[in-house]
Amino acid sequence: MSFPTTRQVRWLIKPAWFLACLTPFTWLTLAVFELAGLSLGADPIEETQHFIGIWALRLLLITLALTPIRLLTAQAWVIQLRRMTGLFVLFYVSVHFLNYLVPDQGLDWGAIVEDIVERPFITLGTAALTCLIMLGITSTNGWRRRLGRRWQKLHRLVYVVGILACTHFWWQVKLDTLEPTVYAGILAVLLGSRIVSYKRSKG
């Protein structure tokens, strides 16, 4: 099995992956301004919220899948995409939250705080964003050196974020739970693979 060189990863694979991760946001931008024949339909705020939230969850699951992929394929370079993908997750979740704050709620902070306190799925979403902000801030090599062994423990929060995100989606849809069930199933498989890998390393 051939492996890409460091140069190929840096100058070909990473830029291509960056563009791939940016594609949903590009599509959304075109749809917002009704360019290239795209539009967000009758309820653009709701459609934006759903679209960007789904892609945040998909990229989160991809982030969690990179380590199992590396272990299964012995392609160590795959792990070099993890930080970039994780930061895109933070970006999409931030856009998701900003869409809720501004177009949806009109920066009505009283209503926003009430929602966060009284609506469980929004509480979970806010908690997930808070965790992602911590992970994003500490994702640099400098923070990794400062935190030492604690860095690895802190960044296991990404699995908590996965659980929060899937539950947030499940509670938000209320009736048609097929899609959140699929994502929750994928998350369960990924978490299971990490538990098995951890037990093997300790055994």
Query: Model confidence over 14-57: pLDDT tens digits?
Result: 999 999 999 999 999 999 998 888 889 889 999 999 999 999 99
Can you tell me the mean pLDDT for 87-98? 98
| pLDDT score, position 203 | 64
With beta carbons less than 8 A apart as the criterion, state whether 111 and 122 touch: no
This prediction's pTM: 0.95
Which two three-digit tokens encode residue 117? 């306190």
DSSP state of 81: G
Distance CA 12, CA 107 (A): 41
> Residues 52-91: pLDDT tens digits?
999 999 999 999 999 999 989 989 999 999 999 999 999 9
Give residue limits of the domains in the chain. 48-202
Percent of the chain with pLDDT over 70: 99
Q: How many CA atoms lie within 13 A of 102 on its CB side?
A: 7
Burial class (CB in 10 A: 0-12, 13-18, 19+), 102: exposed
With beta carbons less than 8 A apart as the criterion, state whether 70 and 76 touch: yes
